[in-house]
Amino acid sequence: MNNFWNNIRRYPSFFISSVAGLIVVILTPFTSLIKTPKSRYILIGFILISLITIFFIIKAMLVL
């Protein structure tokens, strides 16, 4: 039974390391876009437009 609780205690650290690895894998291709100024501005613009769009969608859904 002690082995069971040791395994249960290990799940949060496994989850955190898995999520951190996923974030690294997703963000790695964007590092090549940051190297040139033109691509950097396009990436920043895309991120801003995406955040603004999400903001207005959530605002409309919550009828604020």
Binned at pLDDT 50, 70 and 90, residue 50 comes out as very high
Q: Map out the domains of the chain as residue ranges.
A: 2-62
**Per-residue pLDDT tens over the stretch 30-41:** 888 888 888 889
Q: How confident is the model at residue 46 (pLDDT cuts 50, 70, 90)?
A: very high
Residue 1 carries which side chain, given as an amino acid letter?
M
DSSP structure class, residue 64: -
Distance CA 25, CA 55 (A): 26
Please provide the DSSP assignment of 1-61 as one string. -HHHHHHHHHHHHHHHHHHHHHHHHHHTTHHHHHSSHHHHHHHHHHHHHHHHHHHHHHHHH
Measured from the Cβ of residue 41, the count of other Cβ atoms closer than 10 Å reads: 10
Report pTM.
Answer: 0.58
